[in-house]
Amino acid sequence: MKSKDIKNLRQWFLSQRRDLPWREEPSPYAVWVSEVMLQQTQVAVVIPYFLRWMQRFPTIEALAKAPVEAVLKEWEGLGYYSRARNLHQGARDVMEQHAGVLPATVDELKAIKGLGDYTVGAILSFAFHQRKAAVDGNVMRVLTRYYGINENICLGKVQKKIRALAEELLPQEEPWIISEALIELGATVCMRKAKCYECPLKGECQAHIKDQTDRIPVKGAKISTTVLYRLVPVIACGDRILVRRGEPGKVMADLFQFPYFDITHADHDTSAQKELMKGALKKELSLSGVWKQELPQVKHSFTRYRACLMPHVYAVREEKVVPGFEWISLDDLRQVPFSSGHRRILSMVLEHGLPTLC
């Protein structure tokens, strides 16, 4: 990148950068937490989570000592829960291997659970002020457009090339400012729909000059989304509800959910749903409850799925043992981590109260 553009970028960033809580005091731990939260999540959503997290787990030691349920509870609603589990395990790794202090080398950082190229670059750059690039999707977009790179950015060799370009362009003096400026530019100006008219790089940017901002960056075929339709019985016995904890190693590990049954499509009316549910309760859980109420449908997305949840409330007389499930009181359910869609169902139940059998 031309030195005049580096200068323009620096000036633009120093005058336009957003005030973000993790920028106020960029300790290695704060950078680590914020960068993990920011993966696949927008800044505005992350801010309150980050502030709560730093109050609840102010140090790596506090995080390492916390039970996994407490960690997942703080993450509840952010999605992609493996990020929280990795952060937690990573904190334990740092306690065991580095006496609670994040190391400042690429190899040592990469050996910590959940730390990939981007997060390692961000910690070394923003917290330790080393001349290291942090290349996320924002930086990929800026650099492929600036240099007019027409290759598929999903390919490892293309990503490697862009990482090398990003590192080369960093100045010797205060390189972390340019590193963060590239991310900021991608997040606020060089977005999917580029705002080139306010960009400090527009004079030399190849995609802008050749009118190719809608073609660059080039990406491989999109992963298709699968839609799931699920009947969700909320089964209450007094003030206790039947729930299941996600199995270790699975997508929803340690997160609580109500039972659910997959069906092929959503165009069943209430009575058809009740009929299907009655059969499934008997067959899958050996239960027969009294139907009480249908709750509004909940739609939510996770990984490559879009789920449509259709909740119905049932009451039963006794707490039968159902393998893989447990009965938990409504008060205790407030304290445990729920998967996003099921948490919204729980909120409705908490708001409306539980039905009685009579």
**Residues tagged active-site:** 35
Measured between alpha carbons, how far is 337 from 343 in angstroms, rounded to an integer?
Answer: 8
Is residue 135 a contact residue for ligand SF4 (CB under 6 A)? no
Find the binder of ligand SF4 among 46, 54, 190, 242 (CB under 6 A): 190
Measured between alpha carbons, how far is 173 from 171 in angstroms, rounded to an integer?
Answer: 5
Find the binder of ligand SF4 among 202, 230, 240, 344 (CB under 6 A): 202
Q: Which of residues 145-164 bind ligand SF4 (CB under 6 A)?
A: 145-146
Contact 259, 235 (CB under 8 A): yes
Minimum CB distance to ligand SF4, residue 194 (Å): 4
Residue closer to ligand SF4 by CB (options 71, 135) is 135
Minimum CB distance to ligand SF4, residue 208 (Å): 4
Find the binder of ligand SF4 among 94, 120, 142, 165 (CB under 6 A): 142
Contact 181, 13 (CB under 8 A): yes
Find the binder of ligand SF4 among 91, 162, 165, 205 (CB under 6 A): 205
The DSSP code for 125 is: I
Measured between alpha carbons, how far is 283 from 260 in angstroms, rounded to an integer?
Answer: 13
Find the binder of ligand SF4 among 122, 182, 207, 236 (CB under 6 A): 207
Is residue 244 a contact residue for ligand SF4 (CB under 6 A)? no
Minimum CB distance to ligand SF4, residue 205 (Å): 3
Measured between alpha carbons, how far is 164 from 145 in angstroms, rounded to an integer?
Answer: 16
Residue closer to ligand SF4 by CB (options 33, 140) is 140
Minimum CB distance to ligand SF4, residue 200 (Å): 8
Find the binder of ligand SF4 among 179, 213, 257, 273 (CB under 6 A): 213
Per-residue tokens: 83: 């990020």
Is residue 132 a contact residue for ligand SF4 (CB under 6 A)? no
Is residue 345 a contact residue for ligand SF4 (CB under 6 A)? no
Contact 106, 119 (CB under 8 A): no
Residue closer to ligand SF4 by CB (options 47, 196) is 196
240 half-sphere exposure, CB direction, 13 A CA radius: 12
Long-range contacts of 79-84 (CB under 8 A, 24+ apart): 79/40, 79/41, 79/302, 79/340, 80/39, 80/40, 80/41, 80/302, 80/303, 81/251, 81/252, 81/253, 81/254, 81/255, 81/339, 82/114, 83/36, 83/37, 83/39, 83/114
Give 34: exposed, middle or buried? Use CB within 10 Å, 0-12, 13-18, 19+: buried
Find the binder of ligand SF4 among 37, 201, 242, 285 (CB under 6 A): 201
Question: Segment contacting ligand SF4 (CB under 6 A): 5-13, 114-122, 138-146, 318-326?
Answer: 138-146
Give 321: exposed, middle or buried? Use CB within 10 Å, 0-12, 13-18, 19+: exposed
Minimum CB distance to ligand SF4, residue 198 (Å): 8
Q: Give me the residues that bind ligand SF4 (CB under 6 A), please.
A: 142, 145-146, 189-190, 194-196, 199, 201-202, 205, 207-208, 213
